[in-house]
Structure 1
Amino acid sequence: MQPLVFALDHIVLTVGSIDATVIFYRDVMGMTAQQFTPADGSARWALTFGSQKINLHQAGAEFEPKAAQPAPGSADLCFLSDIPLSDWIAHLRDHSIAVEEGPVARTGATGPIVSIYLRDPDGNLLEISNKSES
């Protein structure tokens, strides 16, 4: 059977602080922070990178509809990067961010990857990965 969906358009992170999240993902992860106004007229924030987007919801002031139990620090996200993990480790060290694990071999959506793990300001687990030949 052919898949009924073909791509992930965006995800939503519920966060403790929009400002702290924007600073982390902009300065550490290299994403672009973007304020946008959907049809309902509300002011919202998103993080963009490549053709991907992460919408941000402030904990306690989430937009409807929302997850059944939105909570900061409940996500586990994997990001692909062409930048060598050794460069990432140095970059994270420059920002005083600990690497919790890695580099370690893992399996990604399209094959083998090598990953490092860290946490964002809410404690979400972030995996930064390079595609692997092995």
Structure 2
Amino acid sequence: MTPKLSGLDHLVLTVADIPTSAAFYQDVLGMDVQQFQPADGSARTALSFGRQKINLHQAGAEFRPHGRAPTPGSADLCFLTEAPLDEWALHLDLQGVGIEEGPVMRSGATGPIRSLYIRDPDGNLIEISVSMARNA
């Protein structure tokens, strides 16, 4: 029998500038910026939200091991929210962040979602989504 995974603990984003990315994710998406020191003694930066974490790696100075070709701007991430998308649209406008697309209907991991798309400072595609299952 194949063992099963139970969740996602963290993922890594390779970024051009850690302070710029940390500020974007904190100010625009409301994530908490954390400085932490793993067992190897290095200083690292992470973004936390809910029970998840995104570790930030500086392009050209990635911590090992890392993906085969870590590249800023190569990610496509979908985040769930409880807030209405019109509130997000207003917030994004106030932050000077353009909406690339949306609101549009999409398929999420657990059913239909309604989404807005933006870009982070590295050009990563960021999807902000509301589950339609909870509104059914």
TM-score per shorter chain, which class? over 0.9
Query: TM-score, normalised to structure 2's length?
Result: 0.96
What is the Cα deviation at residue 4 of structure 1?
1.5
The number of residue pairs the alignment matches comes to: 134
Give the structure 2 partner of residue 63 of structure 1: 63
Query: TM-score, normalised to structure 1's length?
Result: 0.97
Q: What's the CA shift string for 1:66-115, capped at 9, x where partnerless?
A: 00000000000000000000000000000110000000000100001000
Runs of 4+ with deviation above 2 angstroms:
none
One-letter amino acid of the counterpart of residue 43, structure 2: A
Indicate the percent of aligned positions where both proteins have the same amino acid.
61
One-letter amino acid of the counterpart of residue 28, structure 1: V
What is the Cα deviation at residue 129 of structure 1?
0.3
One-letter amino acid of the counterpart of residue 73, structure 1: G
> Structure 1 unaligned runs (5+)?
none
The answer to whether the aligner puts 1:7 opposite 2:13 as a matched pair is no
SS of the aligned residue for 1:57 comes to strand
Deviates more, 1:3-12 or 1:28-37: 3-12
Give the structure 2 partner of residue 21 of structure 1: 21
CA–CA separation in structure 1 for the residues paired with 2:114 and 2:40: 42
One-letter amino acid of the counterpart of residue 109, structure 2: A
Give the structure 1 partner of residue 53 of structure 2: 53
One-letter amino acid of the counterpart of residue 68, structure 1: R
What is the Cα deviation at residue 2 of structure 1?
6.7
CA–CA separation in structure 2 for the residues paired with 1:22 and 1:12: 13
Q: What's the CA shift string for 1:48-78, capped at 9, x where partnerless?
A: 0010000000000000000000000000000
Give the structure 1 partner of residue 125 of structure 2: 125
What is the Cα deviation at residue 6 of structure 1?
1.0
Give the structure 2 partner of residue 82 of structure 1: 82
One-letter amino acid of the counterpart of residue 20, structure 1: T
